[in-house]
Amino acid sequence: MNVYKIASFALISLFIASPSDGASGMTGEQLYKYCSASEDDVVPATFCRGYLIGLVDGAGYGTSNTFHLLDLLGERRAPTNWPEAVSSFLNYCPPEDTDFEQIVVTVVNFLEKNHQDRHLSADYTVWEALRDKYPCV
């Protein structure tokens, strides 16, 4: 198996969220409670934003590093448009001016409309919300 396939498999394993019941981590229900809390309730509101920033930025950073590693190994040429390549790989494509407050609203709206999925892992529900709101076309 060549290096490209190994690196791709490792990256995909890290970033494809499993729709588990959340037994080993936070559920969509828990995330919904944090993210739908009043902004006056500082602790849950801050936790929500920190979680989303960490998840979204972390996935982007990991994807960028993988592209860079594959370029260094000569397995794949580095993309010329990093943000577009990362979004396309993660399968959601928000407009450039999207901020984290919009992401919070997107996640809350998704969880309100899809309350039957709140038992799933929080990371899975975030990715589903982002892919639903910002599909790559």
For residue range 7-48, what is the model confidence (pLDDT) as tens digits? 554 445 444 444 444 445 899 999 999 999 988 899 999 999
Nearest 5°: the CA angle 113, 115, 119 is: 145
Is the overall model pTM greater than 0.85, yes or no? no
For residue range 55-103, what is the model confidence (pLDDT) as tens digits? 888 887 777 777 777 777 777 666 676 677 777 777 788 888 999 899 9
